[in-house]
Amino acid sequence: MPMERRVFLLGASSLAAGATVAASPATGETIAPAAVGDDPGALPPKGGQSLFARVNGVNLHYVRVGVGPNVVLLHGWPQTWFAWRSTMERLCSRFTLIAPDLRGLGLSERTAAGYDKQTVAADIRALIDAAAGGRAHVVGHDMGGKAAFMLAHLHPEHVDRLVMVDCLVPGTENMDSLRGGAWHYGFHMAPDFPEMLTRGRERDYIAAQIRAWSYRKDAVPDDAIDEFARHYASDGGMTAGFNYYRALKDDAAAAASLKGRKLDMPVLAIAGRYGVGERLADALRPQTTNLRSVIVEDSGHFVADEAPEQFCAQLEGFLSA
């Protein structure tokens, strides 16, 4: 059986045995070591695989399940690949879903640098080469959406169709809380202080942020928040998450350098009415040649959780067109 097709079974027995990581020389893909703890919520969807790939100088963990065209799913803050579990279960009969933990998050390698979205896009470009044969549909939410945007601009030959989910194009964020902007940008970007003030209360902070950004306050279940928090609360986890914010100034400069360039692949902007709303499509319109925009009513930032049936129907229809 090829290395990349082996299913890795997570469990306490692997932990006790001191599981090793075996690499495929051909692809750089590896069987993942056991996840943190023995939480069945960390298991891939039924029939899924938990894998590692050495790409762009970093070890990325990802989960793959399904059959059909390749779709790469990029999560945001404060989440991991697990944010897509329900979507993967719903769509795996039509697509091959590949959901990585972004650099520094979940089980992916934590690095001192590289959280600017150009570098993250390069990570995903290399992952598409290693795990998807060089081309894929790409879906990105929140920080993953910013990385997807840069990927589509810088490596368009790797992206068949682009879906941006309730995120803001780099440089269009409103960080001025006095003028209606979100206060957390400055807090997350400050050196050291957010780590100090959230230490020991990581789950509380993550839960509070998720609830604040949701229109349906119970849409992201407690077990998912537990799963996110156990990774972010581990050594260096919150710092890696905050580093995605600390790179926003560089991201804005990189996006500004693309002014005048257009994305030629079909693009879907899908946002919650109580999330970013029309702002995503408004920012994308001058930069695309084939844009479709969907506003999901009764949804905030976490559209895939707050309106899962509508979200998956929109995704399936767009990616199957």
Q: How far apart are CA 192 and CA 89, in angstroms?
A: 38
pLDDT tens, 210-256? 999 999 999 999 999 999 999 999 999 999 999 999 999 999 999 99
| Phi, psi (deg, nearest 5) at residue 228 | -65, -45
Residue located via tokens 């890696």: 240
CATH number of the domain that 71 lies in? 3.40.50.1820
Q: What is the pLDDT of residue 15?
A: 28
Q: Provide the whole-model pTM.
A: 0.89
Percent of the chain with pLDDT over 90: 84
Percent of the chain with pLDDT over 70: 87
Mean pLDDT of the chain: 89
pLDDT exceeds 50 at position 41 = no
* Element (DSSP H or E) covering residue 71: strand 70-74
Q: What is the pLDDT of residue 278?
A: 98
**159-165 sheet: strands from edge to edge:** 29-31, 49-55, 58-66, 96-100, 70-74, 136-141, 159-165, 267-272, 291-296
Per DSSP, 69 falls in state: S
Structure tokens at 138: 């790409």
pLDDT tens, 70-104? 999 999 999 999 999 999 999 999 999 999 999 99
Q: Hey, what amino acid is at 165?
A: V
Q: How far apart are CA 237 and CA 102, in angstroms?
A: 12
pLDDT tens, 169-207? 999 999 998 888 999 999 999 999 999 999 999 999 999
What is the sign of the dihedral through the CA atoms of 59, 148, 305 and 172? positive
* Element (DSSP H or E) covering residue 249: helix 248-256
| Contact (CB, 8 A) for 42 and 54 | no
| Phi, psi (deg, nearest 5) at residue 107 | -95, 0
pLDDT exceeds 50 at position 25 = no
Higher pLDDT, 42 or 297: 297
How far is the CA of 228 from the CAs of 16, 79, 286, in angstroms?
23, 5, 35
Q: What is the pLDDT of residue 92?
A: 98
pLDDT tens, 109-167? 999 999 999 999 999 999 999 999 999 999 999 999 999 999 999 999 999 999 999 99
Q: What is the pLDDT of residue 308?
A: 98
Going by pLDDT thresholds of 50, 70 and 90, the confidence category of residue 43 is: confident
| Number of domains making up the chain | 1
Going by pLDDT thresholds of 50, 70 and 90, the confidence category of residue 42 is: low
Q: What is the pLDDT of residue 180?
A: 87
Expressed as residue numbers, the domain containing 238 is: 3-320
